[in-house]
Amino acid sequence: MPALNLTASTRSGLAIVRDVPDSAFSALLADLERSPDSIPTIPNLSPEDAAQFKESLDSMYAVRAYHDVPLEEFVGDISESFKFNKELEPQVEPSFRERLSKLLNIAPLRVSAKATLLHAEYEHAFCTARILTDIRPIYDNGVKGRPSGAIIMHTLKLSYHEGASGDLGAIYISMGSDDILELQRVLERATDKTTSLRGVLANGQLRYIDPQQ
């Protein structure tokens, strides 16, 4: 069993690296270096195939960033996975390895992969949010009579992923009308701070990376 056990879908996406002519590979590499966050245009291949390739490539960057494997060793692990599944002939392997080395050494993609990894290195990572609202009656003269009044209560449900395991958890927080306004204020302030800090990064000629975009 190879050190890196690639799925059939990932191997199918990376097989494009093995199969395209030199001219098409050069165009693919140039496209990725020019627009690393976009799905590249690959001559004579459908947009669907190009999207599958990009997904496979991004996953390889993520795996390498997580395990912090030297490039040459990582390329060797990918090749071994292909050979284990009888999808790489000996005469093609040198070219395949050379192409992988170039594709997996694009600086903006390396930085993006590390940013995504850093973004996930928290005990709890936000998943979804939902607010449940209900009316709670107030009885002044016993529950058999008509309610004397009512309050409106909100319950904020925050779902999150647990650390590296990714297990889903949730917390429920009761909120009143003032609490809703305070939450809106805090979120708007966070948005304003993001806009301000993006300007600071731009002035310092640092690339802003949003792992969720």
Which phi and psi (to 5°) does residue 132 adopt?
-100, 130
Q: What is the pLDDT of residues 145-203, one digit of tens each?
A: 889 999 999 999 999 988 766 789 999 999 999 999 999 999 999 999 999 988 888 88
Q: Which amino acid is at 67?
A: H
Q: What is the CA radius of gyration of the chain?
A: 25
User: Does residue 1 carry a pLDDT above 70?
Assistant: no
pLDDT per position as a tens digit, 24-78:
999 999 999 999 889 998 888 899 999 999 999 999 999 999 889 999 999 999 9
Q: Give whole-number Cα distances, 69 to 23, 62, 86, in Å.
A: 29, 11, 24
* Type of residue found at 92: V
Tokens 């792992």 sit at which residue? Answer: 211
Instruction: State residue 95's pLDDT score.
Output: 96
Residue pLDDT, tens place only, 121-149 = 778 888 999 999 999 999 988 888 889 99
